[in-house]
Structure 1
């Protein structure tokens, strides 16, 4: 092929590469805003099934939205007033227990035990070095200044988190109120011959995502409530904190409950605040609970959501967690479910027609 104008082709190619790099840089710069939008849309889709249920009972949409959002606000306020003070108190108690834990761990009998088990390891020298390093850290003004800077960074991070929550909540209100309008506007971008099929597929995806969100939050709430009750009965340490951890971990499908259970059992093993018997009782409970959740609770709560194979759930959760943290792990499962739905209803039928 003869090139008529090499300069023009090179210029157009360079501009195309530049535009591509600019788009990628813009996406990276706007990653936080994109995350806020994704989280708000994800939550709006989770609330939409409840709003649609009220609409089917004869309520106008604005009234259904008001009732659902008021219920969510009351639940959030009750959770903050009932759980957060207890969590703060128990975290403070845990911090007060740290010196005693460290003292027991570094006690002479532990050092002698380690020296007997590992004769080549110089345990005394390691303990002396750790003690000297801690002493230098708390007596050196420069180290204390670095610690103060770290505390300031933590405060800034907390403030940023609060701001993010407010922004996500405002966007969620907007998306919830205008979700049907947004979907109808999106349908107009599709050719008329394919619009009905596209609309039907979109409705199935959004409904499945909403049911998945509601189902996963319900499972997490059940785990958190039962964990609080059982851990209080067996006398586990920091029951409110551990129950909150159980709730947060359970938001991640399939692997979240197992991970949270392991963390809770390990906390119950910490000297001076737990005991092997308490940890054993917690381990037995979570083994039983995971079976009940897998074979009783999850099939009943998630029966109307899109089914995703277990291996794909793990892969999607790991990939989403690596890309976007906890939020990425949560969003990855509905995305995988949507892709499966598209493959089953679009790709496979087209392949069968050929």
Structure 2
């Protein structure tokens, strides 16, 4: 059964007469990006402008490059304050708020744990010689993390490096990049578009036929009974959507499966029954971060927090060899019934 999700609010800007869809695409952040714009006239310069927006995000927030703003902060001396670029500070401040609101289920300072489990830029799980960290090594990393809080000074837009704190914003920066592309398009006067970076999406306005940008919520691809969960499509009209799942990136050792999503509280890859969490939100940065945090929290605690914060979320839970779907009330309210 195909179910439809509709936004509560609709744009007052009609599609331009004679508009056609123009496509732009490229590579960034270790993945691909694409943009569809309903345009009249020449919009070729958008290609360069869109790529430049993403290049700024990489230059400021990539944990893969030592010379990024984030890389320089991670390697800074202990006990030092650092002025941050505006975008970097905005994302870090938001990530810190999600960490607080989720009770530590998401942690922007979990870079050392991510690296230890082979999902960082070096000593990766798919490289020769990699060995998963021992319980003692994980415990040592957790003990060290407790003394590595990064303080923020909003007035001066700076951050404090206590020594050894390793930021990793990969669970939020991609969503922020989607928002950056959307804001850039709107600043150029384009109000009808669909933006995608690595599978995270944001849309506004309509297509030439007046229809919204319809997208299907991501399905779990490795479950035998995935087809038992009916397709759900979303009118991406003034909304963004992001999905986190344990099936996307993982490795297996001795019959055990290790997800790339790390629980910062235990220091271990998640092992709850959740296959995926999808979050629909006005901002893709929020959808990206919260889909990760809710995945870490698991079906019960994650749903409870989604309800308390008013997050529109879909949980796909593995059960008896199949999948069970659970929708938060805000997502249920979007169903066209």
**Which is higher, the Rg of structure 1 or of structure 2?**
1
* TM-score bracket, shorter-length normalisation: under 0.3
Q: Give the structure with the higher percent strand.
A: 2
Could you tell me the TM-score, scaled by structure 2's length?
Answer: 0.25
Q: Give the structure with the higher percent helix.
A: 1
Could you tell me the TM-score, scaled by structure 1's length?
Answer: 0.24
